[in-house]
Copies of this chain bind each other. A is one copy, B any other.
Amino acid sequence: MPPTDGTAWGRALIGGRALEVRRDGDAVVTETGERHVLAAVQLLPPVVPANFYAAGLNYRAHIDWANSYHGTSYAVPAQADIGSRAPSALIGSGTDIVIPADSPGPVEYEGELVAVIGRRAKDLSEDTALSCVAGYTLGNDVSERGWQRSDRTLWRAKNADTFKPMGPFVVPGLDPMAQTIEVRINGRVVSRYETRGMIFSLAHFLARISRYVTLHPGDVVWLGCDGATLPPLAPGDRVEVVNAAIGVLANRVVRAP
C-alpha cells in the first residue's frame, strides 16, 4: 500500500501486471513515473484486504425499507457487530458484474463508503480511531436477494465472483461522516444519501473492532447504505457509485450464459 501524501491512489493492470498507481488528473502514474491515460488502463480493486469487514445494517431508512419491501425482519442493531465479505468477490471499476445463470433474483446494488486501514492497530479509542485510516474509496455491495433469503449464510448472495466492485481510487483526508453517496443506473440517479445518517460511526466501529481484533494495513471496512436499493440490476445496465471527492465506481452488468 503506497504512503498517503494527499493524492488518490489505487492499482491498475499495466502490461499484464498489477501495479500501484497514483491518480494525476486524467492519467495514472506508476512508481517508476510512467504515465498512462486513465481511460486506457484497467483499474483493479485499490487494495486486496486480508480482512474484509462490512457493517451491513447501518442506516435506519435502509432497514425500514428492506423490512417493508423484502419482508425481512431486521432489527435496528443495538451494538456495532461487524460482518464480513470475501476478497475473492472483488473487482475494480470498469470490470463487469456477472449475474450467475441460475440467479433467481432480484440482484440489487448497495452503494457504500469504504474505509481503508493504513496501519496495524489494536485498542483504539473512539477519539483517535480515525488515525489508522489511510483513506476512503467506494464499494458496491451487490446482493442477490433470493439467495439472501434462502441461504443460511451470505456466501453467494453477497460473495459470488464479481459481486464486490471497489474503487476507483483511495482518497485520504475525508470526513467519513460528511459524505454524500449517490448511485446512478444508466446515468439516472436512483439513490442518494448522507453518511451522517450512520447508526454507528466509523470511529465507533474501529474502536469496537480493535478491542478484540487487530486491524491490519489494507483491511477494509464497508459502511453500509441507506434507503431503498431499487430498481434491481438488469443485464446491460451501467451502475455507478458516486462521491464528489472519491469519484465514480462504474460497472456494467451482464448475465452469465
The chain A residues found within 8 Å of chain B, CB to CB, are 48, 50-51, 53, 56-57, 77, 79, 81-84, 86-89, 100, 122, 151-153, 155-156, 159-161, 209, 211-216, 219
Contacts and interface: CB of A to CB of B under 8 A. Distances in A.
B84 A209 contact: no
B156 A212 contact: yes
A51 B86 contact: yes
A89 to B, nearest CB: 7
Nearest to A78: B152
B82 A155 contact: yes
Given A50-B88, A86-B51, A87-B50, A81 B155 contact: yes
Nearest to A150: B79
A160 B84 CA distance: 14
B84 A213 contact: no
Contact of A152 (B77, B156, B211, B219): B77
A187 B96 CA distance: 54
Contacts of A153: 56, 81-84
A214 B152 CA distance: 20
A88 B152 contact: no
Contacts of A87: 50-51
A161 B212 contact: yes
Given A83-B155, A152-B81, A100 B212 contact: yes
Given A50-B48, A161-B214, A155 B209 contact: yes
Contacts of A212: 100, 155-156, 159-161
Contact of A213 (B159, B209, B213): B159
Contact of A84 (B48, B81, B84): B84
Nearest to A101: B211
Contacts of A152: 56-57, 77, 79, 81, 83
13 contacts: A56-B153, A57-B152, A79-B151, A79-B152, A83-B152, A88-B214, A122-B161, A155-B209, A156-B213, A159-B213, A160-B212, A161-B213, A161-B214
Given A57-B152, A84-B86, A161-B212, 11 more contacts: A51-B86, A51-B88, A56-B153, A77-B152, A82-B155, A86-B213, A88-B214, A88-B219, A89-B213, A155-B209, A156-B213
Contacts of A83: 152-153, 155
Contacts of A214: 88, 161
